Structure 1
């Protein structure tokens, strides 16, 4: 297996109409969650990936499992919880590039994850462990699960990849900062956004933020800069990689997960850091052009066409 990840995925309801959700009468049902967005992104690019979680033993949970399996992600370590529901959330698209998300996840099955949900033998078969900063915010037991997964990964020689994925509404800022820094200090690759770096260190200068993360012990830091692309840092070098122009941004949710999938895909394919970040930028840009968390994630043929677009499509 190439990659294993774990965390909560929820049922997503999106109004069929744009504007304020109070006037919506019909909704489409989809699924979304940082870790499965990432996992599906990798699977579409031809990589093997597994997802560990809990979902409710309800119709929505079963539908979710069927969907994620159908996208090529291994779900053999996902547990059905008979005592808690599958989490849900709503995405309100008021107009293009004006998206609001409302979560109803308190007490969900995934928030009840514990270290006993982890299978070390299963994890040991992977090359990378992907950790999101959302999971430790869900509950104390979820936080314990994150650190136990990292310990398992370290014991078995996996590369730990961390996307801070800061969600301030989920926990107090003091706790968030402390925990995210602790996870970052145990990670090999860190994929923060500038706002997350500023939250953790107080700096806004990308060069300083990259250095701060390296000083925690990371081997690679890739700082996401939105439409301007990304800047990667290692102890030996750092370089800005331009982003891709998007004609119309429809839905930015999930772009960071696509970015992470593109980057790890590049590493799995043996690309240079510069080329891996370029792939990450491309996948992130493609995702923003489609409504939905995973609907825009490209297959290799889609990615190839996009990356080979004329040079003027690149933001310098």
Structure 2
């Protein structure tokens, strides 16, 4: 129910794996996280330049919620992805690729009429103006998700349900589904919501910022970038974001390279504890997918009951893993390695620098430098 801060404990006989999985798990009712949303086949350019000039593309997968699901499963958690894909080859590829990270895909439905969404992008950052993204997702299988096709009472039981504002932008039916999933109800898991304001997806559909604010206020754990809050709601600074979103027990305001500020209300309803955790110095290879990875790291540490500072640090570490590879997804650092880095004192954390290959480091490694 809204207002809860702790996550229900896992079954007493459950052992968290410490090694990332690489194959689909046997379906289980004991699920840590359900991630619901659209994933698409992504075509990545073979070289920098305008889409008109790129001669060839490499196929990948992309989707905020499936990215989170894959990262959490690779980190050893029991995760289900809930969505709809077409009964086509691209749908086959998505299911195979997501399952390869260890995600349970048995609750993904195949649509016999609507296609799987696809998109093409340039090699530059889609979060800036120096980019091109061409979406072919209108009328996709996922846009047909609704309270009828995905009944909230029919979702698998879980400790955390993770959603994003992207789903709300896909169609009126999808918005109805998110409203149903975020409504107060008996037995509701902790609901995590990444605002993910995408103005282009709301084009032609009124009220996008207001809808995102409405949904965020109904959730238990909210992720929002300081920059997107300014763009969507004209609120500036982390404290102003908290004033606009007073309801969620936990609010994570992402501040880019500067780090993140976490507002966490006491379980007894007491005033917020405010924790600001600086970001890391990272030798960036590609800046795409870091927000999803941050959410996965924060959720992973939340499932483990770690303190707020460590939750944010694990978010930064998971984001750094993605920032130092070309694509949206990568294997996260081993749990022991990440725990060691997250436990550094403030001085050592502030001088840490991570480069390509750091996730495979054990102990001292030239790509993990404390200067």
State the TM-score, normalizing by the size of structure 2: 0.78
Distance in 1 between the 2:90 and 2:110 partners?
A: 11
Instruction: Tell me whether 1:46 sits opposite 2:94 in the alignment.
Output: no
Q: Answer with 53-62 or 189-198: which moved more.
A: 189-198
Residue 6 of structure 1 aligns with which residue? Answer: 36
* Structure 2: runs of 5 or more not aligned: 1-30, 265-270, 355-371
Alignment match, 1:213: 245
Pick one of 61, 73, 78 that aligns with 2:91: 61
Q: Any conservation in 1 of the 2:51–2:132 contact (CA below 8 Å)?
A: no
Task: Specify whether residues 120 and 146 from structure 1 end up closer, same or farther in structure 2 by C-alpha distance, changes over 3 A only.
Answer: closer
Query: Segments of 4+ in structure 1 off by > 6 A?
Result: none
Which is helix-richer, 1 or 2? 1
Q: Secondary structure at the match of 1:257?
A: helix
Q: CA RMSD in A?
A: 2.4
Q: Tell me the TM-score normalized by structure 1.
A: 0.91
The CA deviation at 1:306 is: 6.0
Aligned match for 1:251, one of 286, 305, 324: 286
2:90 counterpart SS class? helix
- Unpaired segments ≥5 residues, structure 1: none
Flag the 1:225–1:85 CA change in 2: closer, same or farther, 3 A. Answer: same
CA positional deviation for 1:62: 0.7
Alignment length (residue pairs): 311
Instruction: Tell me how far apart the structure 1 counterparts of residues 42 and 232 of structure 2 sit (CA, whole Å).
Output: 29
Matched, 1:262 2:292: no
1:68-114 alpha-carbon deviations (Å, 9 max, x no partner): 11111111111111101111111211599965432111111111112
Q: What does residue 328 of structure 2 align with? A: 293
2: CA distance between counterparts of 1:204 and 1:262? 25
Match in the other structure for 1:137: 169
Deviation at 1:261, TM superposition (A): 0.4
Equivalent residue, structure 1, for 2:122: 92
Q: 1:95 to 1:4 in 2, by over 3 A?
A: closer
* Higher Cα Rg, which structure: 2
Residue 313 (structure 1) aligns with: 352
State the SS of the aligned residue for 1:196: helix
Deviation at 1:41, TM superposition (A): 1.0
Q: CA deviation at 1:299?
A: 4.6
The alignment status of 1:237 with 2:268, answered yes or no, reads no
Q: What is the SS of the residue equivalent to 1:192?
A: strand
